[in-house]
Structure 1
Amino acid sequence: MEQRIGLIGLGNMGNAILQGILGSNIVLGTQIYIYDSHREKGQALHQTYSINNLDSAKDVARAADIVFIAVKPNVIIDVLTDIQKELKKNTIIISIAAGVTIKTIEKFVGYEQKIVRVMPNTPALVNAAMCSITPNSEITQEELLVVQTLLNCIGETEIVPEYLIDAVVGASGSSPAFVFMFIEALADGAVKGGLSRKQAYKFAAQAVLGSAKLLLETGKHPGDLKDMVCSPAGTTIEGVQMLEAKGFRSAVMDAVEATIKKSQAMIKD
């Protein structure tokens, strides 16, 4: 890949994106330009990978062909305002800020600027993210493929229209927290049954990981896979009945709906 990659913000998600790109070897360290308000974050990266650790967001915008803006939603407008005059016409802006629409970004950097909204999730930290990709009308198919290639370095991607991003937040962006709660609850139950805490977490987490992999690789309906585990008059169907009695599926659906509504309320236009 020949493009120069810029990254503004080296928090958890920004650093995950950077490490994924570095690990893929699709670009050299010398092709990457970074800035974080805590400049010491970039010093080790510069020494190890020869990454360009720059003095300002403006410098990144001036140098890069593709600029990831990985800052919090409450400061992204300040960053966009700061870099606007430094952007070239063909520079691609990639925003991971929740609740900040393409229209809002265009308002601050220009309506002819190339913009992509991305909604990643925290498994990006172990290159197992699920990212939605939403381009504006200025992005070509070739450019979209480049963006997708970069984000595939941290996991899986799907192209999604902007009106569905709030649903993505519920299904993917926020849901790792729900999954961690589920794993913790599974482990608590196993500890109550006598398993050590360390083993309980391992059994529960591996069961969730393996179940997800089985669903993705077989393409079977989750209900069919559930039925495969439920032997007649067996242990599993007893547990399934208890979850149904406690409103398990309804509670999960309500949680996803709550995240969608919150995401919609956060939209900044």
Structure 2
Amino acid sequence: MASRPPTSSNTRGTKKTRRGGADCNTARIGFIGAGKIATSIITGLVSQRGQVDPKRIYVSAPTTINTDSFKVTYPGIHISKRNIDIFGRFDCDIVFICCPPNVIRNLYKIGGSRPAALTTNFIPNMRHPVYIFSLVFGFTTEQIKECLLNPENPERYTAKFFRCVISHPIAFGVGHWWIDIEPDSANFPNIVREIFTRISLIEYAPESLLDTICIIAGSNITFCYYFINAIADGAVKKGMPRKLAVKFAAKVASSASQTVLTTGTNATQLKEDASSPSGGAIYGQMILDKSEVASGICGAIEASYKRSQTLAMTGKTENTE
């Protein structure tokens, strides 16, 4: 990566000029938005597995609802209420756009034919590569670009944009990251690969599927926790201590998932293989069918998708359903 020449005082004069190219041990990582997914990524980064000093992490958010706790939990982390600081004063190398979709939709409403800038003013012409990852549901990378790059001279930017979905377990070093580019290709930034493979498995997914994956990996993981808790409830009802019941339920769910992934066998077939004639499993499944559990899960997925779509399309945060 090329060295960074000094920058002019009128664009980024409040920050120190860094000499030499950034690497996985020096890269500055920025977040626009301080919600749950940003919190999960930051937690994973500063964990023992992530090995990132909080002093290398920069967050912008309009309120201090979450950022006040960041200062306590991650001493040295940098906080601002100005999105422009992520690119200007803080001079980040890797940036995650983690704001809710209604924020981007409102920019389009304000801007008219073009959206207003997410950063108040368009980001400065960075003289070094900056890698921007959008986690915003319902918006393409081209739409995110329009909210950040000055349309008068877009060719002067060295920013590279990607769209992705990151699962919340990244906080614990076991997350998944789906991105619209092959992670092993030369077009995927090596600096990002080196940092984030410590705490997540990075996989390719076409952009056309990322909205659906966002729901599966985001909202639906809460359904998995719900199901694990329901299994634990059943065990507690039969006399097992709660802590032990949750542990067993989680292990059963984990082994079932690993079996599907390892064998590649359809889950329906595996279900049949594990059910003995006139055994307890088939009797239990009949109760699940009678309770329409499968339909309920499908309905929950549809409701989650519809709500996210409403936020992305209307820009409203209140419940409109």
- TM-score normalised over the length of structure 2: 0.67
More helix by percentage: 1
**Fraction of identical pairs, as percent:** 28
CA RMSD of aligned residues (A): 3.3
Identify the match of residue 223 of structure 1 among 256, 262, 268.
268
Partner of 1:121: 167
Residue 145 of structure 1: how far off its partner (Å): 5.3
CA distance in 2: counterparts of 1:260 and 1:36, whole angstroms: 27
Deviations 1:241-261 (A, max 9, x none): 222233232322232233333
Secondary structure of 1:123's partner?
A: helix
Secondary structure of 1:115's partner?
A: strand
Deviations 1:71-120 (A, max 9, x none): 34444658833363335273221122323332321211236642112222
The correspondence of residues 1-269 of structure 1 with structure 2, limited to 5 A, is 2=23, 4-8=27-31, 9-23=33-47, 29=53, 32-37=56-61, 38=64, 40=68, 41-42=70-71, 45-47=74-76, 53=78, 55=80, 56-62=82-88, 63-75=91-103, 80-82=118-120, 84-88=122-126, 90-110=129-149, 113-134=159-180, 141-144=186-189, 146-268=191-313
What amino acid maps onto 2:131 in structure 1?
Answer: I
CA distance in 2: counterparts of 1:235 and 1:26, whole angstroms: 44
Given that 1:121 and 1:172 are in contact with CA atoms closer than 8 Å, whether structure 2 keeps it comes out as yes
Secondary structure of 1:209's partner?
A: helix
Given that 1:6 and 1:61 are in contact with CA atoms closer than 8 Å, whether structure 2 keeps it comes out as no
Given that 1:98 and 1:263 are in contact with CA atoms closer than 8 Å, whether structure 2 keeps it comes out as yes
Residues matched between the structures, number:
261
Residue 157 of structure 1: how far off its partner (Å): 2.7
Deviations 1:19-68 (A, max 9, x none): 43344778763982413454652476455xxx6x2655433313122212
CA distance in 1: counterparts of 2:54 and 2:219, whole angstroms: 34
Taking a change above 3 Å as real, the CA distance of residues 214 and 87 of structure 1, as seen in their structure-2 partners, is farther
Deviations 1:181-217 (A, max 9, x none): 2122222222222333333222222211222223223
Deviates more, 1:218-227 or 1:201-210: 218-227
CA distance in 2: counterparts of 1:86 and 1:256, whole angstroms: 40
Secondary structure of 1:86's partner?
A: coil
What residue ranges of structure 1 are gaps of 5+ in the alignment?
Answer: none
What amino acid maps onto 1:21 in structure 2?
Answer: L
